[in-house]
């Protein structure tokens, strides 16, 4: 098996130390394997926050760090047809339903519920639109009501049966298909969404090892479910620790002082920066 990894930043800012660790982990895993490949993918579907200057800025940051990628970077914005095809497949299986809820309506519904369904980061979608009848769905779509598409994760999990994934740090993990609730497959505004796009692209780029921060561990449960439904191969995972600031907070794009560009300007040598990040 060829080890193929990817670094998948969103071009919504320059890279910071957290990204440097993510990129180093993916890069090293590929470079340590004979014939391994390290790919770069721009997760640029997040509409208004994406800025053209950041594609080049990110490439510059990676090259300065000495983390050279193979081939031409993939942009998710060029892949909408593939995401639509995957969504169509899930719709044809009867596993995707339109969701007309606004954020406010979801909040109100959750507040009304005696026990709101919980995910790792708080309440998950309460399932309001799952209960709509076919006629109402059709009428509202025909009337032009804005809608997202969600996975009907209960029946989806019944179809796949129990799944697992293997993580190089955490071992074999049993998939909890309902962990994130009925995830969004296509957002109202952009016609696709992170979970679906990442699964479709990892398969199409033949990524053997998906490396990413521990904050995305819960997403992997949903990703394995989607992979099984769509008949896509199962990658090996490596969820690495997150880089935190001196207060123990996760780094965000706004932590400009910790940006790679700022450190470069301050005269920091790239190899010592990468070393100081410590083990994955
Ligand atoms: N685009 C995501 C990020 O910037 C990474 C996605 C992934 O590795 O699955 O954190």
Q: Which pLDDT does position 247 carry in this prediction?
A: 75
Helices (H), the chain: 17-31, 52-65, 80-92, 103-112, 134-142, 153-160, 194-204, 217-230, 260-265, 270-276
CA 41 / ligand 1 centre spacing (Å): 9
- Indicate whether residue 10 lines ligand 1 (CB < 6 A): yes
The residues, any chain, with a CB within 8 Å of residue 269's CB and separated by 6 or more, are none
**Chain segment 77-88, per-residue pLDDT in tens:** 999 999 999 999
Q: Which residues are bridge partners to 165 per DSSP?
A: 173
* Mean pLDDT of the 174-193 span: 96
Q: How many CB atoms lie within 10 A of CB 153?
A: 24
How much distance in Å is there from the Cα of 123 to the middle of ligand 1?
A: 22
Shortest-distance atom of ligand 1 to CA 198: 9
Ligand 1 in reach of 273 Cβ (< 6 A): no
Q: Which of 7, 9, 193 to mutate to test the pocket of ligand 1 (most atoms within 8 A of CB)?
A: 9
Summarize pLDDT for 161-182 with one digit per residue, the tens. Answer: 999 999 999 999 999 999 999 9
Tell me if 8 CB under 6 Å of ligand 1.
yes
Average pLDDT value for the chain: 95
The CB of 212 under 6 Å from ligand 1? The reply is yes
Q: Which two tokens stand for residue 134?
A: 């076919």
Q: Whole-model pTM above 0.85?
A: yes
pLDDT at 257: 62
Among 11-20, 30-39, 249-258, the range of highest mean pLDDT: 30-39
Which residue shows structure tokens 């070393």? 275
Q: Could you read off the pLDDT of 106-120 as tens digits, one per residue?
A: 999 999 999 999 999
- The per-type count for the chain, helices as H runs and strands as E runs, is 10, 12
pLDDT at 256: 66
Which pLDDT score, from 0 to 100, does residue 48 have? 87
Q: What is the pLDDT of residue 252?
A: 64
Percent of the chain residues topping a pLDDT of 70? 98
Question: 240 pLDDT exceeds 70?
Answer: yes
Instruction: Work out which ligand 1 atom sits closest to the CA atom of 9.
Output: 4
pLDDT of residue 269 exceeding 80: yes
Q: Ligand 1 pocket, 9 CB below 6 A? A: yes
CA angle, corner 149, sides to 143 and 153, nearest 5?
A: 140
Angle at 7 between CA 4 and CA 10, to 5 degrees: 145
Per-residue confidence at 253, pLDDT binned at 50, 70, 90? low
**Cβ proximity of 163 and 225 under 8 Å:** yes
- Tell me the best of 193, 212, 242 to mutate to test the pocket of ligand 1, counting ligand atoms within 8 Å of each CB and taking the most: 212
Compute the distance from residue 155 Cα to the ligand 1 centre, in Å. Answer: 27
Confidence of residue 258 (pLDDT cuts 50, 70, 90): confident
């Amino acid at each position: 098996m060829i080890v193929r990894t990817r670094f998948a930043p969103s071009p919504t800012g320059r890279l910071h130390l957290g990204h440097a660790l993510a990129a180093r982990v993916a890069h090293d895993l590929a470079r340590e394997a004979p014939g391994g490949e390290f790919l770069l993918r721009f997760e640029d579907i997040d509409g208004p926050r994406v800025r053209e200057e950041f594609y080049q800025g990110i490439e510059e940051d990676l090259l300065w760090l000495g983390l050279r990628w193979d081939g031409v970077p993939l942009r998710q914005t060029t892949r909408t047809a593939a995401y639509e095809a995957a969504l169509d497949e899930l719709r044809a299986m009867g596993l995707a339903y339109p969701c007309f809820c606004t954020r406010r309506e979801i909040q109100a519904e959750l507040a009304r519920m005696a026990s709101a369904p919980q995910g790792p980061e708080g309440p998950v979608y309460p399932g309001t639109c799952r209960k709509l009848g076919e006629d109402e769905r059709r009428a509202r779509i025909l009337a032009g009501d804005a809608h997202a598409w969600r996975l009907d994760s209960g029946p989806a999990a019944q179809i796949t049966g129990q799944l697992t994934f293997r993580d190089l740090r955490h071992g074999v993990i049993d998939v909890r298909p309902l962990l994130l609730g009925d995830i969004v497959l296509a957002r109202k505004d952009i016609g696709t969404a992170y979970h679906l796009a990442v699964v479709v692209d990892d398969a199409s780029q033949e990524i053997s090892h998906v490396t990413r921060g521990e904050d995305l561990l819960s997403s992997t449960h949903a990703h394995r479910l989607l992979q099984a439904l769509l008949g896509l191969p199962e990658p090996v995972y490596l969820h690495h620790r997150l880089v935190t600031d001196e207060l123990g907070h996760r780094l965000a794009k706004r932590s400009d002082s910790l940006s790679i560009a700022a450190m470069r300007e301050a005269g920091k040598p790239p190899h010592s920066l990468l070393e100081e990040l410590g083990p994955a």
